[in-house]
């Protein structure tokens, strides 16, 4: 599932309390693991939604003196004008698309699947949502940016997700991924998908992490765009 790194454990999963009719695939940030977000989703779970929180493979990360840590792709710099790990980003994106395909095989249609992530994971979720051929319910990007943004709109010329819903969240005191990266990304996303479907939420005083208010906003977004399916009796 993750290239040639066979040591990546299976994703952390919060199963649906009843039959799963929707899924959320959520990607953690640099140096973290899927359990952090599985714990967060346990507190806001919807009974018909399966939450899948994969773990990134360990790799040397340039920005952290080549120390090995869980990372979806290499990061050379926090300066958005510096070269990016294009090969790594595209490889990681293909792995996430394979996860979407697996859930479709499991019986959940792609339009009932939502992508999301925090920081580096949020960046990868935005990139994947824009370049996949699977029609998604939406995407959640927390404290993140759009990678390889100069390759858009060409990279999403055949994108089926022009009408997907996007929730972007960002703390205005973020020292790692500055708040203006979030607003720049939001402007870019409005040019790539239906701007009416794009939401941006600012959290006063929030640094590079998540807060309780943000988690509740995510729950509301999931509830709205992955509503329960009413069975025809």
Catalytic residue numbers read 119, 174, 208
Is 21 within 8 Å of 108 (Cβ atoms)?
A: yes
- Dist. CA 233–CA 222, nearest whole Å: 25
* Helices and strands in the chain: count of H runs, count of E runs: 5, 9
3-class DSSP state of 199: strand
**Other CB atoms closer than 10 Å to residue 210's CB: what's the count?**
20
3-class DSSP state of 27: strand
3-class DSSP state of 228: coil
- Dist. CA 65–CA 73, nearest whole Å: 15
Is 11 within 8 Å of 53 (Cβ atoms)?
A: yes
- Dist. CA 228–CA 54, nearest whole Å: 24
Q: How far apart are the first and last CA of the chain?
A: 39
């Amino acid at each position: 599932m993750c290239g040639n790194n066979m040591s990546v454990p299976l994703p952390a999963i919060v199963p649906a309390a009843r039959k799963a009719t929707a899924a959320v695939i959520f990607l953690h940030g640099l140096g973290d693991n899927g359990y952090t977000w599985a714990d967060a989703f346990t507190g806001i779970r919807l009974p018909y939604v399966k939450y899948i929180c994969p773990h990134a493979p360990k790799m040397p990360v340039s920005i952290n003196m080549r120390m090995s840590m869980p990372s979806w792709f290499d990061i050379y710099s926090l300066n958005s004008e510096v070269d990016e790990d294009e090969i790594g980003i595209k490889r990681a994106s293909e792995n996430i698309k394979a996860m979407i395909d697996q859930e479709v095989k499991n019986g959940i249609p792609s339009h009932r699947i939502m992508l999301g992530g925090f920081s580096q994971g949020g960046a990868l979720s935005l990139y994947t949502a824009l370049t996949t051929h699977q029609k998604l319910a939406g995407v959640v990007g927390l404290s993140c940016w759009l990678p390889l943004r100069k390759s858009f709109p060409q990279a999403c010329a055949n994108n089926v997700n022009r009408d997907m819903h996007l929730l972007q969240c960002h703390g205005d005191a973020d020292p790692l991924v500055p708040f203006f990266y979030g607003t720049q990304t939001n402007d870019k996303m409005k040019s790539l998908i239906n701007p009416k479907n794009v939401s941006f939420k600012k959290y006063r005083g929030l640094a590079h992490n998540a807060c309780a208010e943000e988690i509740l906003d995510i729950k509301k977004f999931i509830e709205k765009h992955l509503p329960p399916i009413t069975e025809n009796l």
